Amino acid sequence: MLLRLSILFFLALLGGCATYTAEYQERLVRSLPNQRDVTIHDSKTYPGDILCGSFSRLSSNGFTMRRSKFVVGVDMIIAAPTKEDVLVYCGSESEQALFELTGIGVTDKDWTPLVKVRDDMLVIDAAITRYYNARATLPDPLNKLLEDDYGVDPENLIDPWGRPYNYEGGLSGRTVPQYKLSSYGADGTEGGQYADADVRREQTQMLNHVLRINGY
């Protein structure tokens, strides 16, 4: 009986992986500017519901273009991942890879401060997008986000160590707001590892992946 239940559980896991593998591959293809004759190669699943692999497609004259790698997750599609993306997402040691690349990590398994950093940065990013869409400019300073209902609270603007997030606006693109946002960690100075590591806005997605694997 136990053997039968184990086999059924294993088959259910395989079925689940197969389901989201097909879904992720379809999402990848739909995201490409040229969706003609796309072939997916050697795709593989990784912790955190990640699918990595490569794809090729035909050019307008019918020749097969060179392969490109991809990473697809629950809330992301990376059709041209960097080496850093591959190291963090496409392996079984994502936490160690993130630490080696950025210094971000924990020594005591207490992820609470980094959960707040992730959550705050996601809230601030969404609020800045609303502000930019409404005013065609970036908030300067950041607490301008508190002057109307942009979905941000005062505590979102303070990092877990009681300091305002570092913010540099004035980098607007034509259609997408560009800005810098970071925390200098527990020591409040640039550089460092573990609790003292800097966390930048562009690292939020990788941090979110590691947090998701750890149940946050």
Distance CA(107)–CA(151), nearest Å, equals 33
Question: Side chain identity at 59, as an amino acid letter?
Answer: S
Q: What is the pLDDT of residue 29?
A: 93
The closest of 181, 145, 155, 177 to 166, measured between CA atoms, is 181
Residue 215, pLDDT above cutoff 80: yes
DSSP-derived secondary structure letter, 67:
P
Q: Reduce the DSSP state of residue 165 to 3 states and report it.
A: coil
Structure tokens at 213: 């694997």
Q: What is the pLDDT of residue 177?
A: 74
pLDDT one-digit tens code per residue, 30-73: 999 888 789 999 899 999 999 999 999 877 676 667 789 999 99
* Summary mean pLDDT of the chain: 88
pLDDT one-digit tens code per residue, 67-104: 899 999 999 999 999 999 999 999 999 999 999 999 99
Q: Which pLDDT band holds residue 8 (cuts at 50, 70, 90)? A: very low
Helix (H) / strand (E) element for 84: namely: helix 83-89
Q: Whole-model pTM?
A: 0.85
DSSP-derived secondary structure letter, 69:
E
Q: What is the pLDDT of residue 58?
A: 77
pLDDT one-digit tens code per residue, 161-182: 999 999 998 755 556 678 999 9
Helix (H) / strand (E) element for 102: namely: helix 94-102
End-to-end alpha-carbon separation of the chain, Å? 35
